[in-house]
């Protein structure tokens, strides 16, 4: 089951600046082949269900190892059985109608 | 790694009423021991990381089996290493300060 | 236009404990008649669009006044034109099917 | 109070394809000067609090006028008092650390 997701990771207890943790998350997701595409309030990613969830787990584990005591994440994730679709397909589909 | 989560599952392509699918999701999460607590815009759940993610995967798979062609979910999920905390602890902690 | 919402407010730069800020948010939403119902990962609220959005604005402004330098919130919100529905109706609709 | 947000609008009761509604939302947000930047699971936007919330309200109202009976949206939104920051600043801050 393929999943297209959008993840926003928020480290708590480490001050107002979170960009170094977000950068680390991007590196992990990229290394795992989940095609992260960073935007201003999260990152798109996609892959097989297990791969995506395991990647996000590594992000939480790694940030805790870096000293973050608490993490609250927010994720949108979609699956469909009617047809195959990538994140790039979704964007193209909207842009054609604009 | 324990996780406290809040899940909102949205079936697409099945009309405006989604309650029968949400009810099925609750049953699956309950059966799996994830302590779902339904509210008006989602459900709280908690457990070990793998258990929680596997439960949500079963929800998506089951809804697709029921004929839902597309599902878009939204989830908040938190982990912490500084201390153990349940969802009930979180509510109590806020209520004591009100 | 009535809206049913679910709000999760996350103060950054104030340490790992956020419950005192969440308690303050609940008080504001209650005082404004938005019927907040706290759960383990946010709070349900409902009302007219303007009332809801103005209430959430007051929450952000008040938390900043309390010294929170940065706030990241997450909200689900729904509107419908086919019929009137409260948050309690939504819960009842699911529970009848369980 | 400036706000950086990320909005994901989900029309219900109109079938599996939602791109025409998302395209309409983009047009509204652009026309209002909220600098929407579409990605695969939502759109970034930013502006003064009232402008952002009024823009999102117009999106819901317009989609209902187009015949969508039910809409469930999901939004992340952040405010800060410690310094000024745009969405582009947030991305740059992460990319510098990668």
Per residue in A45-98, pLDDT (tens digit) is 999 999 999 999 999 999 999 999 999 999 999 999 999 999 999 999 999 999
Round the average pLDDT of chain A to a whole number and report it: 96
Tokens of A11: 């480290």
C80 in contact with D at a CB cutoff of 8 Å? yes
Give the burial class of D69: count Cβ atoms within 10 A of its Cβ; 0-12 exposed, 13-18 middle, 19 or more buried: middle
Does A4 contact D97 at a Cβ distance shorter than 8 Å? no
Contact yes or no for B35/B86 (Cβ under 8 A):
no
pTM value is 0.97
Q: Take residue A96 and report the two structure tokens written for it.
A: 């054609």
- φ/ψ of residue A83, rounded to 5: -170, 165
B10-28 b/e (C-beta count within 10 Å ≥ 16 → b) = bbbbbeeebbbbbbbbbeb
Rounded to the nearest 5 percent, the helix, strand and coil shares of chain D are: 40, 35, 30
Residues of C in contact with A10 (CB under 8 A): 10, 12, 72
Residue B3 structure tokens: 């996780």
Interchain contact, A18 vs C12, CB within 8 Å: yes
List residues bridging with D12 in a β-sheet.
D70
The answer to whether residue A13 neighbours chain B at the CB level (below 8 Å) is yes
Q: CA-based angle D73:D77:D83, to the nearest 5?
A: 170
Q: What is the pLDDT of residue C96?
A: 95
Closest approach of D50 to chain A, Cα-based (Å)? 19
The yes-or-no verdict on residue C69 having pLDDT over 90 is: yes
**Confidence band, pLDDT 50/70/90 cuts, at residue A17:** confident
Give the end-to-end CA distance of chain B in Å, rounded to a whole number.
30
Q: Which residues pair with B38 in a beta bridge?
A: B43
Q: Do B19 and C74 touch (CB under 8 A)?
A: no
Q: Which residues contact D34 (CB under 8 A, 6 or more apart)?
A: D45, D46, D47, D51, D52, D55
CA D53-B17-B8 angle, 5° bins: 55
Quick: pLDDT tens for D41-95. Answer: 999 999 999 999 999 999 999 999 999 999 999 999 999 999 999 999 999 999 9
Could you give all domains of chain D from N- to C-terminal order, each with its CATH number? 2-95 (3.30.70.930)
The answer to whether the CB atoms of C74 and A74 lie below 8 A apart is: yes
- The answer, for D16 touching chain A at a CB cutoff of 8 Å, is yes
- The yes/no answer to whether this complex scores an ipTM above 0.90 is yes
Beta strands in A1-98 (DSSP E): 2-12, 37-39, 42-48, 70-80
**CA D69 to CA D48: how far, in whole Å?**
29
Q: What is the pLDDT of residue C17?
A: 87
Q: Flag whether pLDDT at D16 surpasses 90.
A: no
Residue pair B72/B7 in contact (Cβ under 8 Å)? The answer is no
pLDDT on residue A64: 98
The closest CB to that of A78, out of B1, B57, B71, belongs to B71
φ, ψ for residue A66 (rounded to 5)? -75, -5
> Does B74 reach chain A within 8 Å, measured CB to CB?
yes
Q: Which chains would you list as touching A if contact means 3+ CB atom pairs under 8 Å? A: B, C, D
* Cβ-defined contact of A6 to D40 (cutoff 8 Å): yes
- The CA radius of gyration of chain C, in Å to the nearest whole number, is 14
CB contact under 8 A, D69 and C80: yes
Q: Which of C1, C76, C82 sits opposite D70 (nearest CB)?
A: C82
| Least-confidence region, from A85-89, B12-16, C35-39 | B12-16
Instruction: Please tell me the distance from the alpha carbon of residue D64 to that of residue C79, in angstroms, as a whole number.
Output: 9
Nearest Cα to A26, choosing from A3, A44, A51, A48? A44
B17, pLDDT greater than 90: no
**Which candidate, B59, B68, B67, B64, places its Cα nearest to that of B7?**
B59
Contact A53, A2 (CB under 8 A): no
């Amino acid at each position: 089951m393929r999943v297209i997701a959008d993840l926003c990771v928020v480290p708590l207890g480490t001050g107002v600046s979170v960009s170094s943790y977000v950068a680390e998350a991007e590196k992990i997701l990229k290394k795992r082949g989940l095609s992260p595409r960073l935007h201003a309030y999260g990152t798109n990613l996609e892959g097989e269900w297990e791969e995506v969830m395991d990647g996000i787990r590594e992000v939480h584990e790694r940030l805790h190892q870096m000293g973050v005591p608490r993490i609250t994440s927010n994720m949108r994730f979609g699956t469909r059985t009617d047809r195959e679709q990538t994140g790039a397909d979704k964007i193209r589909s909207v842009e054609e109608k604009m």
